[in-house]
Amino acid sequence: MGMMNMNQLFPDLLSIGELFADPDVAYIVPIYQRNYAWRSEQIEQLLGDIRDAIRDDKASYFLGNLMVTQKPSAYFEVIDGQQRLTTLYLLLTFLAERGVVNNSHQNRLRYESRPRATEALRRVSIELSSHSGPSAHSSTSEDTGIHQGYNVIRQYMDQHVIGEDEQQKFANYLLKNVSVVRASLPRKTDFNRYFEIMNTRGQQLKQTDIVKARLMQHLDDDAQRACFAWIWEACSDMDSYVQMSLTRDAPKLRTAIFGDDWSWLVLKKFDDLVRIRSESDASMTVGPLPCQPLTIDEALVKYAEMGAPEAGEDQDNVRFRSTIEFPAFLLHVLKVMDRDNEEDEGLLDDKGLIRRFAEFFDSANDETSGRVQLFAYELLRCRNIFDSYVLKRQYTVTNSDEGDWSLQRLIKRVSNNRPTPGYINTFSRGSNDVEEDGDVDPITNDLLLLESMLRVTYTSPRTMHWITLLLKRLGNINPDDVKESDLANALRNYARSKVKEAYPLGNSGERVSMKEPEGFSINRIVFTYLDYLLWTEQKSRDYRFSFRNSIEHFYPQHPDEQQVGEAVSVQCLHMLGNLALVSVGANSKFSNSLPRAKAENFRTTIEIQSPKLQEMAEITRSKGKWGDEEIRAHHDAMIKYLRNDLGCNNGLKSTKEFNL
């Protein structure tokens, strides 16, 4: 077969309601497709995007393409898009269980030659609405993935789309206003060739390319444009320390820009960078050469086609993974420059990147060229701060495959009489005598734990306002004068303000006017901050925050009938005292076991999940039971922890007052 004609498609724009409306149509996921693999990050991103569209009163929201081929027996074989399709199916299953949509989608999605996965789709609402977890016969990763995906949807919706009216509004918008393009490929398509074309057709033009081209139009000469492109490309490589990506294989230039120890930006303005770049040896790899002025169309084409930089002396940087992507980082820099006082999620929404830049530069009272130059300098300065003071994920031979949290700065070492980069804990005051990959020192560790607490709590880039807070705090401080305690206090107070918003607490003996939240309506920050407080009291324990988004009822909502234990009243079941935040996998593992069985059989799992959960397990083991009395006592103890901690900051600011 020759090259596939990509125009031989039969596209239909369908609302989600229409996608599953035809009773004679079913979607089959073929055996060669991978298992359902979306986890909380992807699922919550999709749900959050739909919520944003509703909030912004958008007439419609396009979800993407679904590539299929139609078979003679009136069903569609899913070629591309099965992760999104399965998530939509699970979402409709949840909404049907809540009674806000009908069950017309049921049995319209199946897995070829994988009966357990198909059965999991059929049973998921029955099993998880009763919190019973996966069936005992479920043993494959695809069954578990489907159950975990439904659990993520259920808890997200219960926390963010609260009440029947809101869920009905969400369901109506989903069915009528959210759409996909279902594109049918010819039946005789060579799918090996199709995937080859799809995987090699090159990157599409991104919003960042458009923003970059528009900003460069305002610069006055070749040297400025070349310098801007140099800084932009270096900063866009989020998984490499910017000292390395800006001056690959050019240690002399690195010293000129970042000082003798390579840690901190020593130049003070954009013009200094233009000059130093122009004066640098032409043999050094310092980014694009000066170029002729480009039209907007030429710039878009040119910079969209630019390839990834070649690897050089910074091969070691593959061990680091950034907390956020480049578009989100650009928005943080805009917030730092804009001095905006409102904590508005829209300000960090990278879907509106072009609009945000247009608004910022259109509002400029000063000359646009000067503002673009200032932005370029701030971009580099903020990246230097971000790399050293905002945690990364680090992958080394001493870490697990999942890596570990890292808070390190880059320094210059000398090896074989040649300068070479090294990495030490951010607040270490030593240099070459400090070993790499060593233990995190106590000073750095407290800040690292706070940042990781916020990172696993606010997983969407739109909600990571604590990063802006750090960048602003560090804006006008000499790096050598930065105190860990000041940054830790700022993050602690930010977290406290979020807890106060999420869980209304009066002082001891004071009557709270609002009802305490219960069950799935309790925000994650309440659990993660309690875990932090408990850790600060038990610092001998080695603990690291991990991604957890499932609220675990320690005494289960539907206990296993084969186990015997003290019953818990309805009044206590959903109290904070009976709840902990765990991973979806741990929630599934605990299933409907009673507290004594969990405490005895899952000691290792409990220890790595949550200090609060560990305390609940220790109470159960020491008293031999977990009933109403223990739940109320633990609940009161947790409330006391929060009151004592929050009470230390009378007149605590709201998050809107943090100058984010």
d(CA 300, CA 294): 9
pLDDT at site 416: 85
Tokens representing residue 356 in the block: 């945000």
At position 607, the amino acid (one-letter code) is E
* pLDDT at position 372 over 90: yes
Q: What is the three-state SS of 497-559? A: HHHHHHCCCCCCCCCCCCCCCCHHHCCHHHHHHHHHHHHHHCCCCCCCCCCCCEEEECCCCCC
Q: How many C-beta atoms surround the C-beta of residue 55 within 10 A?
A: 10
pLDDT at site 114: 67
pLDDT at site 279: 86
The H-or-E segment that residue 443 falls in is helix 442-457
pLDDT at site 561: 66
pLDDT at site 79: 85
Tokens representing residue 463 in the block: 């909600």
The string of DSSP letters for 234-288 reads HHH-TTS-HHHHHSTT-HHHHHHHH-TTSSS----SHHHHHHHHHHS-TTS--SP
pLDDT in tens, 572-619: 999 999 999 988 777 777 778 889 989 888 888 888 889 999 999 999
pLDDT at site 453: 96
At position 8, the amino acid (one-letter code) is Q
Per-residue pLDDT averaged across 472-494, rounded?
Answer: 90
pLDDT in tens, 444-475: 888 999 999 999 999 888 899 999 999 999 98
Decide: 317 and 244 in contact? Cβ < 8 Å: yes
pLDDT at site 140: 46
* Radius of gyration of the chain from its Cα atoms, rounded to whole angstroms: 27
Which of 144-153, 311-320, 342-351, 383-392 is the least confident region? 311-320
d(CA 654, CA 22): 50
Which of these, 243, 240, 394, 257, lies nearest to 308 by C-alpha position? 240
Of 264 and 220, which is predicted with more confidence?
A: 264
Tokens representing residue 655 in the block: 């998050």
pLDDT in tens, 400-417: 566 789 999 999 998 888
Beta-sheet pairing, 579-582 with 550-553: antiparallel
Q: How confident is the model at residue 54 (pLDDT cuts 50, 70, 90)?
A: very high
pLDDT at site 168: 95
Helical residues (DSSP H) of 1-140, grouped into ranges = 16-19, 40-55, 82-97, 115-129
Residue 186 DSSP label: P
pLDDT at site 5: 45
pLDDT at site 159: 84
pLDDT at site 189: 62
d(CA 54, CA 281): 54
Per-residue pLDDT averaged across 9-15, rounded?
Answer: 80
pLDDT at site 126: 56
Which of these, 259, 243, 255, lies nearest to 314 by C-alpha position? 243
Provide the terminal-to-terminal Cα distance of the chain, rounded to the nearest Å.
58
d(CA 409, CA 241): 9
The string of DSSP letters for 575-619 reads SGGGEEEE-HHHHHHHTT--HHHHHHH-HHHHHHH-HHHHHHHHH
* pLDDT at position 654 over 60: no
Decide: 199 and 87 in contact? Cβ < 8 Å: no
pLDDT at site 202: 47
| Longest CA span, the chain | 79
Residues facing 28 on adjacent strands:
77, 110
Per-residue pLDDT averaged across 543-555, rounded?
Answer: 88
d(CA 113, CA 198): 26
pLDDT exceeding 70 applies to what percent of the chain? 76
Of 174 and 348, which is predicted with more confidence?
A: 174
Write the Ramachandran bin of 14: left for phi over 0, alpha for psi from -120 to 50, otherwise beta: beta
Q: What is the distance, to the nearest Å, from the Cα of residue 485 to the centroid of all Cα atoms in its chain?
A: 26
pLDDT at site 346: 67
* pLDDT at position 499 over 90: yes
pLDDT in tens, 68-107: 888 777 788 888 888 999 999 999 999 999 999 998 888 8
Q: What is the mean pLDDT of the chain?
A: 81
pLDDT at site 345: 64
Tokens representing residue 186 in the block: 């010819």
pLDDT at site 442: 73
Q: How many C-beta atoms surround the C-beta of residue 635 within 10 A?
A: 17
Cα angle 409, 411, 416 (rounded to 5 degrees) comes to 145
Tokens representing residue 203 in the block: 């990157």
Which of 102-111, 298-307, 521-530, 569-578 is the least confident region? 298-307
b (16+ CB within 10 A) / e for 165-195: eebbebbebbbebbbbbbbbbeeebebeebe
Per-residue pLDDT averaged across 295-299, rounded?
Answer: 55
pLDDT in tens, 433-446: 444 545 666 778 88
